[in-house]
Amino acid sequence: MKKQLINYETMLRIMKAISHSKDPSEIALMTTEGIKTALDVKGCALFLFNRKTDELELAASFGLSKEYINKGPISAMRSIAQSLEDGPVAIYDVNDDPRIQYPSEANKEGITSLLSVPIVFGGSLVGAMRVYTATPWEFTLDDVNFVNALAQMAGAAIHMAKYIKGLKSSIDVLKSLREVESQKSTRRTPYEGVPVSVPARNMAKEY
């Protein structure tokens, strides 16, 4: 019960933090840190799916070394592809599972077990949340549900933050265009304001 209470409090805290943040990278970092701390695991990482390259690109991580997170591109088709299609996948021993793309790097990092949860928004895959443990870990249904809930909330918040950021940029561009047009409409030519009865050549003589 204590563990469930801690997870529930963590979920509420992260939800509150997410609701006050407009920065996608900040949302990703807060979520990974919250999951890592709540479950007391080695690390957690949030990846976003790049449709052009079919790769999972790291958005944020907590508890993992720079060497491990920079180990190389993660192919969405090779790296635990099942979790991206069928739902969460838990791997008890990363050293003895063909679905792991970088087994030697995981072993060097001290990773033993792994949980991968797909992040879906609007019916489309947008990324994946992964939890890493240093000791053999049989992920319970509560663990999976906790990570899955936060992963989906983070995915939706990141998507909306990007949308709002893009919308704001579009509005800024429109404002800039309006300002340019306004300046053009108020710009005076050399003969503006000169009475029609006064020939332009006479004005030139006066100067």
* Residue-wise pLDDT tens digits, 100-154: 889 999 999 999 999 999 998 888 888 999 999 999 999 999 899 999 999 998 8
Could you tell me the pLDDT band of residue 15, with boundaries at 50, 70 and 90? confident
* Residue-wise pLDDT tens digits, 119-128: 988 888 889 9
pLDDT value at residue 124: 82
Could you tell me the pLDDT band of residue 9, with boundaries at 50, 70 and 90? confident
Residue from 118, 120, 138 nearest 129 by CA: 118
What domains sit in the chain, N to C, each tagged with a CATH number? Answer: 2-165 (3.30.450.40)
Residue type, 152: Q
Tell whether the torsion through CA atoms of 167, 172, 173 and 177 is positive or negative.
Answer: positive
- The CA–CA distances, whole Å, from 199 to 107, 190, 194, 202, 205 equal 89, 13, 9, 5, 10
Could you tell me the pLDDT band of residue 181, with boundaries at 50, 70 and 90? low
33 φ, ψ to 5°? -65, -40
In whole angstroms, what is the distance from residue 10 CA to residue 154 CA? 13
pLDDT value at residue 131: 97
pLDDT value at residue 25: 86
In whole angstroms, what is the distance from residue 102 CA to residue 202 CA? 85
Lowest mean pLDDT among 56-70, 117-131, 187-201: 187-201
CB count within 10 Å of CB 28 equals 28
